[in-house]
Every structure is written in C-alpha cells, then in structure tokens.
C-alpha cells in the first residue's frame, strides 16, 4: 500500500529527473525530448519503488530487468540510472558526444545498467520474452518490464512477440505502452491507427490495465496487479502526454526529436522549479 508520502517522494524525484533530461538534451543539441518526458513517471515508479535492482556489481538476490524498446527515450533511462547510482551524473552532460558512455540510444556495452541495445523499433518485447523464458527455466520470481511507444506498435514484430508471450504464458512479462498519441511524423491515429488498443491486446491473450501514466498511485497499483496475474503476460496501457511537465512542449509533435534551446531550457527549468 503506497502512502501519500511515498507518492510525494516519487513526484519530487520525477520532477528533478525531468530537469536532468532537459539539461542533457540541451548539452547534446539533439535527441528526443517529448517521449522522454512522457515516460519518466513510469520509469521513476519502477526504479525507485517497484523493481529489484542494484548498481553494485556483486549484488546478490533477485534482479528485475527493464527493457526500453522505444530506445529513442534513452535520456529518461539514463536519468534514472544515474540517480540510482549506476554511473556518475556528470556523464549526463556528455550525451551523444564522441567517447561518451551515453549513446543516442541504449547501448549495453558502454552504459552500466542498460540490459540490451535497443532503438530499432519493435524488438524490445521479443527480447523481453527471451529473458523471461530464461528466468522461467531458472525458476526465479524475477520480472521483466518492457516499455514500448505507441507508434512502435505499428511494427509487425510487436504482434509476433505478443503472440509468443501469451503462448508461453509469460506472466513474468509486464509491458508498458507509452500512449502519448504522437510519433515522429505526426498523430499516431492519422499515420497508422492502433485502436482498439485494449481489445487487440486482450485478443492476443494479454491481461490489460488502462491507467493514467502520470498518476503514481495508478502506476504502482498496476505493477502490483500485474505481478499477481498468473498464466498470461500483462500490458499496462498508460495514457501519457508528450513533453509532460513543460507546458510549451506538451502535446507538441515538434518536440519528438528536438532538443531545447538555451531559452527553452531556462523557461522549462523555471516552470519545473515552480511546480
């Protein structure tokens, strides 16, 4: 049971992580702002409340996995990994620079805490399935969390993976759909509609929960319910806002792959400080 104090702490962490995301993207001069901001509340809930993980190389005990299938949201993942102690926060300002440990998309050989390389859209759920099957063979209770973008689910491989997870009853897989309604070319429903989302995933054999992806109470409760679901994988269909937290970026497709200018950074920081 989450208390108001627990949720307030997560809100504060998330607000500061939004600042880190904006700073690193401004320093890089490129990258994906909108989708990183839409995803950060979910990542905050997972890494600072629900997932079992540790940056210590020799850490023992259960370890849950997170796969960022929408790899362009890497700034959000890097922000939570740095805050969790996987690497020094000074690296955030080296995003996308030559010899940096932080590539434009997650790259496991160079970035501590990154499980696999992602960024070619549609592949993360397949990877999650493979990890989950191995964990089943090892008879552990460790869980695999996968985050997909809504435009990403236009990829056929996602649906092959959805069938696979249901066929093998991978109840240790929980997928989040970051449903902010926008993708690089415009509005998702205009480019390739993905509705009816809930009915489609249920038809593929998944347990589906529909939530507000910025409401920590709903996120945490959904993760708990998914953990209690047996015999089938779980989809947490999260309604989110592209650019969430910065008013002039919210629901603006132009910020899908645009880094903030100095003026925009200053305005955003002032707004987050006042929140």
Among 112, 111, 29, 37, residue whose Cα is nearest residue 72: 37
| H or E stretch at 158 | helix 156-167
- Identify the structural domains of the chain with CATH numbers, from first to last: 4-53+62-274 (3.40.50.970)
Query: d(Cα 52, Cα 36) in Å, to the nearest integer?
Result: 22
Neighbours of 254 (CB within 10 A): 12
For β-strands 144-149 and 182-183, DSSP reports them as: unpaired
- Residue 274 has what pLDDT? 94
- Residue 193: which residues within 8 A CB-CB, separation 6 or more? none
pLDDT in tens, 168-189: 999 999 999 999 999 999 999 9
pLDDT in tens, 140-168: 999 999 999 999 999 999 999 999 999 99
Tell whether the model's pLDDT for residue 94 goes beyond 70. Answer: yes
CA distances from 215 to 14, 41, 120 (A): 12, 8, 29
Among 100, 99, 78, residue whose Cα is nearest residue 89: 78
Say if residues 200 and 26 touch (Cβ distance below 8 Å).
Answer: no
Query: d(Cα 62, Cα 51) in Å, to the nearest integer?
Result: 10
pTM recorded for the entire structure = 0.97
pLDDT category at 59 given cuts 50, 70, 90 is confident
Query: d(Cα 39, Cα 148) in Å, to the nearest integer?
Result: 10
CB-side exposure of 102: number of CA atoms within 13 Å? 30
pLDDT in tens, 115-135: 999 999 999 999 999 999 999
Query: d(Cα 26, Cα 264) in Å, to the nearest integer?
Result: 9
Q: Which residues pair with 179 in a beta bridge?
A: 239
Tell whether the model's pLDDT for residue 225 goes beyond 90. Answer: yes
Collapse the DSSP code of 179 into the 3-class scheme (helix H, G, I; strand E, B; otherwise coil) and give the result: strand
Q: Which residues pair with 197 in a beta bridge?
A: none
Q: Give me the phi and psi of 182, to 5 degrees please.
A: -130, 145
Query: d(Cα 105, Cα 101) in Å, to the nearest integer?
Result: 11
- Residue 263 has what pLDDT? 98
Average model confidence (pLDDT) for the chain?
97
Query: d(Cα 251, Cα 113) in Å, to the nearest integer?
Result: 30
- Residue 1 has what pLDDT? 62
**CA Rg, the chain, in Å?**
17
Say if residues 121 and 152 touch (Cβ distance below 8 Å).
Answer: yes
């Amino acid at each position: 049971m989450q208390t108001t104090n627990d949720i307030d702490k997560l809100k504060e962490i998330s607000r500061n992580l939004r600042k880190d995301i904006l700073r690193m993207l401004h320093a890089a001069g490129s990258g994906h702002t909108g989708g990183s901001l839409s995803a950060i509340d979910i990542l905050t809930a997972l890494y600072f409340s629900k997932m079992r993980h540790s940056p210590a190389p020799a850490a023992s005990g259960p370890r849950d996995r997170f796969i960022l299938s929408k790899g362009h949201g890497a700034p959000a993942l890097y922000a939570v990994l740095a805050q969790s102690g996987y690497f020094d926060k000074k690296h955030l300002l080296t995003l996308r620079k030559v010899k940096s440990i932080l590539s434009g998309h997650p790259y496991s050989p160079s970035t501590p805490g990154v499980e696999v390389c992602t960024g070619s859209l549609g592949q993360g759920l397949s990877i999650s399935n493979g990890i989950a099957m191995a964990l089943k063979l090892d008879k552990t209770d460790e869980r695999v969390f996968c985050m997909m973008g809504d435009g990403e689910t236009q990829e056929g491989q996602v649906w092959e993976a959805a069938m696979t997870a249901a066929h093998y009853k991978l109840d240790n897989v929980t997928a989040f759909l970051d449903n902010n309604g926008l993708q690089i070319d415009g509005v998702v429903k205009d480019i390739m509609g993905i509705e009816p989302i809930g009915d489609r995933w249920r038809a593929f054999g998944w347990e589906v929960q529909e939530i507000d992806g910025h409401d920590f109470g709903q996120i945490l409760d959904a993760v708990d319910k998914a953990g209690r679901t047996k015999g089938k994988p779980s989809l947490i269909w999260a309604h989110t806002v592209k650019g969430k937290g910065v008013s002039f970026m919210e629901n603006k497709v132009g910020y899908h792959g645009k880094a903030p200018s100095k003026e925009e950074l200053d305005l955003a920081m002032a707004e987050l400080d006042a929140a």
